[in-house]
Structure 1
Amino acid sequence: MGLSFLLLFPLLFLLHHFYYRLRFRLPPGPRPLPVVGNLYDIKPVRFRCFAEWAQSYGPIISVWFGSTLNVVVSNSELAKEVLKEKDQQLADRHRNRSAARFSRDGQDLIWADYGPHYVKVRKVCTVELFSPKRLEALRPIREDEVTAMVESIYKDSTAPDNLGKSLLVKKYLAAVSFNNITRLAFGKRFMNSEGVIDKQGQEFRAITTNGIKIGASLSMAEHIPWLRWMFPLDEEAFTKHGDRRDRLTREIMEEHTLARQQSGGAKQHFFDALLTLKDKYDLSEDTIIGLLWDMITAGMDTTSISVEWAMAELIKNPRIQEKAQEELDRVIGHERVMTELDFSNLPYLQCVAKEALRLHPPTPLMLPHRANANVKIGGYDIPKGSNVHVNVWAIARDPKVWKSPLEFRPERFLEEDIDMKGHDFRLLPFGAGRRVCPGAQLGINLVTSMIGHLLHHFNWAPPNGMTREEIDMGENPGLVTYMRTPLEAIPTPRLPAHLYKRVAVDM
Structure 2
Amino acid sequence: MAPLYLLLLLPLPLIILLHNLYYRLRFRLPPGPRPLPVVGNLYDIKPVRFRCFAEWAQSYGPIISVWFGSTLNVVVSNSELAKEVLKEKDQQLADRHRSRSAAKFSRDGQDLIWADYGPHYVKVRKVCTVELFSPKRLEALRPIREDEVTAMVESIYKDYNLGKSLLVKKYLGAVSFNNITRLAFGKRFVSSEGIIDKQGEEFKAIVANGLKLGASLAMAEHIPWLRWMFPLNEEAFSKHGARRDRLTRDIMEEHTLAREKSGGAQQHFFDALLTLQDKYDLSEDTIIGLLWDMITAGMDTTSISVEWAMAELIKNPRVQQKAQEEIDRVIGHERVMTELDFSNLPYLQCIAKESLRLHPPTPLMLPHRANANVKIGGYDIPKGSNVHVNVWAVARDPDVWNNPSEFRPERFFEEDVDMKGHDFRLLPFGAGRRVCPGAQLGINLVTSMIGHLLHHFKWDPPKGSSSEEIDMGENPGLVTYMRTPLEAVPTPRLPLHLYKRMAVDM
Deviations 1:265-300 (A, max 9, x none): 000000000000000000000000000000000000
Deviations 1:416-457 (A, max 9, x none): 010000000000000000000000000000000000000000
SS at match of 1:465: coil
Deviations 1:56-105 (A, max 9, x none): 00000000000000000000000000000000000000001000000000
SS at match of 1:219: helix
**CA displacement at 1:385 relative to structure 2:** 0.2
Q: Which moved more, 1:441-450 or 1:192-201?
A: 192-201
Q: What is the aligned-residue identity percentage?
A: 90
Mapped partners of 2:268, 2:220: distance in 1: 40
Mapped partners of 1:154, 1:8: distance in 2: 65
1:30 alignment counterpart: 33
1:106 alignment counterpart: 109
Mapped partners of 1:288, 1:409: distance in 2: 42
2:21 alignment counterpart: 18
Q: Which moved more, 1:5-14 or 1:330-339?
A: 5-14
Mapped partners of 1:482, 1:5: distance in 2: 41
CA contact (8 A) 2:365 2:390 kept: yes
Structure 2 residue runs of 5 or longer lacking an equivalent are: 1-5
SS at match of 2:471: coil
The runs of at least 4 aligned residues of structure 1 exceeding 6 Å deviation read none
Mapped partners of 1:255, 1:4: distance in 2: 57
Matched pairs, number: 500
**CA displacement at 1:123 relative to structure 2:** 0.1
2:283 alignment counterpart: 284
Mapped partners of 2:193, 2:395: distance in 1: 39
Deviations 1:300-343 (A, max 9, x none): 00000000000000000000000000000000000000000000
Structure 2 residue 220 is the aligned partner of structure 1 residue 221:
yes
Mapped partners of 1:208, 1:499: distance in 2: 34
**CA displacement at 1:219 relative to structure 2:** 3.5
Mapped partners of 1:401, 1:194: distance in 2: 48
Deviations 1:184-204 (A, max 9, x none): 000000001111110000100
SS at match of 1:490: strand
CA contact (8 A) 2:162 2:491 kept: no
CA contact (8 A) 2:327 2:345 kept: yes
What is the TM-score when the length of structure 2 is the normalising length? 0.98
Mapped partners of 1:22, 1:163: distance in 2: 68
**CA displacement at 1:164 relative to structure 2:** 1.2
Mapped partners of 1:297, 1:197: distance in 2: 19
**CA displacement at 1:392 relative to structure 2:** 0.4
CA contact (8 A) 1:30 1:63 kept: yes
CA contact (8 A) 1:305 1:481 kept: yes
Mapped partners of 1:385, 1:504: distance in 2: 51
CA contact (8 A) 2:394 2:426 kept: yes
Mapped partners of 2:395, 2:152: distance in 1: 30
CA contact (8 A) 1:219 1:231 kept: no
SS at match of 2:491: strand
Mapped partners of 1:196, 1:44: distance in 2: 36
Deviations 1:397-425 (A, max 9, x none): 00000000000000000110100000000
Mapped partners of 1:27, 1:304: distance in 2: 36
Mapped partners of 1:217, 1:164: distance in 2: 43
SS at match of 2:193: coil
Mapped partners of 2:46, 2:416: distance in 1: 35
SS at match of 2:227: helix
Mapped partners of 1:422, 1:102: distance in 2: 27
Mapped partners of 1:332, 1:53: distance in 2: 47
RMSD of equivalent CA atoms: 0.5
What is the TM-score when the length of structure 1 is the normalising length? 0.98
Deviations 1:364-389 (A, max 9, x none): 00111000000000000000000000
1:195 alignment counterpart: 194
**CA displacement at 1:4 relative to structure 2:** 3.4
- Which residue among 89, 92, 117 is the counterpart of 1:89? 92
**CA displacement at 1:124 relative to structure 2:** 0.1
SS at match of 2:163: coil
Mapped partners of 2:401, 2:219: distance in 1: 37
Structure 1 residue runs of 5 or longer lacking an equivalent are: 157-161
CA contact (8 A) 1:476 1:482 kept: yes
